[in-house]
Structure 1
Amino acid sequence: MHNAFPRLPLPDVAFDAVPLARPLDWVGMDGMTLPVRVDGADGVPMLVPAAVDVAVNLRDPAARGIHMSRLYLRLQQALASETLGAPTLRRLLDACVASQEGLADRARLRLRFDRLLLRRALRSDNAGWKRYPVEIEAELTEGHLRLTLGFSVEYSSTCPASAALARQANAQRFSEDFAVDPAPPAAAVRDWLESESGMIATPHAQRSRAELRVELRPVFDELPLEPLIDAVEAALGTPVQTAVKREDEQAFALANGANLMFCEDAARRIAAALAADSRVAAWSVRAAHLESLHPHDAVASVSGRNPA
């Protein structure tokens, strides 16, 4: 049986009169879940889940709203099919502006996802996956693309003050244990060092986290996430490890001994690495040492802008 009444067009209140008309800085959607295509560890592209925010400006005061579904559909198609990079983001933001048919002339996009990188052990032939939280912000204004890359790195920090106090306590025990023999043979000293008496105090160390935001120069098309992570971890010297054997753990202990640092030292090390990077226009760093001595964190922040 057919409906005798004709199908009416669907109402669209977007064209209703606008109360309190004025342009709006940004209108869009936050917290969309979409797949993003990134380069995998072996160079083969892979899809990762991401939280996505998108917005455009509404420059026409007489327009009630923007075309949100058009933004969503363009993002869904482009992020899953094109490998993430500066050219992809520029094309996508251009498409977001064009989809509004004159309602907007600016667009911005924020992506948050976890990047997995396969990292080699320090000495053994093992390797393991490490997770790096990533946030990418892209904004297109008057044809100019601004890209900001945020990520965090976990590392170990051994307190210099605690190390000095531990050395002093160990030296004092040595003096006490060898008081009757001011010139002990090397074998006796070695045996003592390998015994529990040879290390009555140890410095405190803790897992620590560096959070970074880097504004990239527009002349580069890449999103240099992995090279920047490598540079930061090299500057710190003690990135946390995944798959380890005893030889790796010993190498990690040696790295901590060679890289004693307060949170202030860590922030300065990272700042020096970013200040020397030609891909970076501006940067900010927050180093947080999740104290094992105290029930609170020690933190240091620094920011800067590199010469043009």
Structure 2
Amino acid sequence: MEQHPLEDIATAPAEHLGALSWVGMEGIALPLQIAGQPITGRASAGVSLDEPTARGIHMSRLYLALADLAHQELTLPQIAAVLDTFLASHDGLSEAAFLDLEGEALLRRPALLSPLSGWKTYPFTLRCRRDSSGLHVILDLSVGYSSTCPCSAALARQLVQQAFDKNFSEAPITHEMVREWLGSDQGILATPHSQRSQAHLSVRVAPNQESLPLLALVDRVEQALGTALQTAVKRIDEQAFALANGQNLMFCEDAARRLHATLSEQPNISGFSLRVVHAESLHAHDAVARSEWNWQD
């Protein structure tokens, strides 16, 4: 029997003429590798449809091009090459290509003092665009940390002072008496409140660098805040974490300013937007602060 070519109705002219800013696919499963660890990623891939008479694009060409990113360390040159393939496969149809990659980077993080370590996830989205002006890359990243309220710390210290005055109103007072009292329930009758907090960052990445700056960004953010969330710990780590919180009392405004300062010094970043969220343990609402530098998303 004679084999007839399969009909491709996508090549027919569009019923209603007009260019489209974006056509593609979202939610594509894609195995990625970040900082040496495999993760389950998701991709959104597309191109502009600038030819007004064309009915559609070749979505299968976008899908197949994504295979070049699978099962290997994600780098900016690889992403740029895939975007170039998107455009080459739609020559005459498209002038811009888009690729969003998202997932949870899986990083091994050490305990504060003990030799223990454990895994933490860092949600991220990499938003990439290639057009006539070049390659544009924005990295969205979320980093968790602990924040202790400076106001509640001051109020707790005041209560401790009042209890001290009440318990040691009569002389003589010895060093041993005070030390024993400080180690009792009376000595810590009030404690400041802390909460698990989140820093949500969007940074414009210089397109000429080789590696994705995700790990370096996580390290700088956690170092600037000083109270990174922990994984496996021993008691010495828990004590060190309590000390870190006591030495890094932060309103959301304080955390935002710390991050603004450290991101401003981060190499290969040309702009950023940040948002910190302190999930209040005192209130039923969140405390939020935002900051931007050279930013227009």
Distance across 2 between alignment mates of 1:242 and 1:38: 19
Letter in 2 for 1:274: L
Instruction: Pick one of 1, 4, 8 that aligns with 1:8.
Output: 4
User: 1:180 matched to which residue of 2?
Assistant: 170
SS across alignment from 2:291: strand
Compute the RMSD of aligned alpha carbons. 1.4
State the TM-score, normalizing by the size of structure 1: 0.93
Tell me the SS of whatever aligns to 1:149. Answer: strand
Alignment equivalent of 2:127, drawn from 116, 137, 142: 137
Moved more, 26-35 or 162-171: 26-35
User: What is the rounded CA distance, in whole Å, between the counterparts of 2:72 and 2:192 in structure 1?
Assistant: 49
Partner AA of 2:204 in structure 1: E
Partner of 1:166: 156
Q: How far apart are 1:21 and its partner, in Å?
A: 0.4
How many equivalent pairs are there?
295
CA distance in 1 between partners of 2:168 and 2:6 (Å): 94
* Letter of the structure 2 residue corresponding to residue 218 of structure 1: P
Indicate whether 1:304 and 2:290 are aligned. Answer: no
Question: What does residue 19 of structure 2 align with?
Answer: 23
Contact 1:112 1:136 in 2 (8 A): yes
Which one-letter code corresponds to 1:34 in the other structure?
Answer: L
Residues 1:125 and 2:121 aligned together:
no
CA drift of 1:259 comes to 0.2
Secondary structure, aligned partner of 2:178: helix
The partner residue of 1:235 within 224, 239, 242 is 224
In the alignment, which residue of structure 1 is the partner of 2:241? 252
Counterpart of 2:33 in structure 1 is 37
Maintained 8 Å contact 1:47/1:80 = no
Q: Specify every segment of 5 or more residues in structure 1 that has no aligned partner in the other structure, as ranges.
A: 41-45
Q: Distance in 2 between matches of 1:51 and 1:249?
A: 36
Deviations 1:248-301 (A, max 9, x none): 000000000000000111011001000111211011111000111011111111
1:197 is paired with a residue whose SS is: coil
8 A Cα contact 1:82 1:88, kept in partner: no
Instruction: For 1:102 and 1:37, locate their aligned partners in 2 and report how far apart those are by CA, in whole Å.
Output: 33
> 2:99 pairs with 69, 92, 109, which one?
109
Partners in 2 of 1:82 and 1:190 — Cα distance?
57
Aligned partner (choices 44, 47, 53) of residue 53 of structure 1: 44
The aligned residue for residue 43 of structure 1 is none
* Corresponding residue number in structure 2 for 1:62: 53
Residue 34 of structure 1: how far off its partner (Å) = 1.3
Give distance in 1, aligned partners of 2:13 and 2:143: 51
- Report if aligned partners of 2:38, 2:71 keep a CA contact under 8 Å in 1: no
Runs of 4+, deviation exceeding 3 Å: 5-8
Q: TM-score, length-normalised on structure 2?
A: 0.96
| CA deviation map 1:218-272 (0-9, x unaligned) | 3322211111111010110000100100000000000000000001110110010
Aligned partners of 2:73 and 2:169: how far apart in 1? 68
2:251 maps to what in 1?
262
Give the letter aligned to residue 69 of structure 1.
S
SS of the residue 1:174 aligns to: helix
Identical pairs, percent: 48
CA contact (8 A) 1:17 1:64 kept: yes
Using the TM superposition, give the Cα deviation of residue 204 of structure 1 relative to its aligned residue in structure 2, in angstroms.
0.4
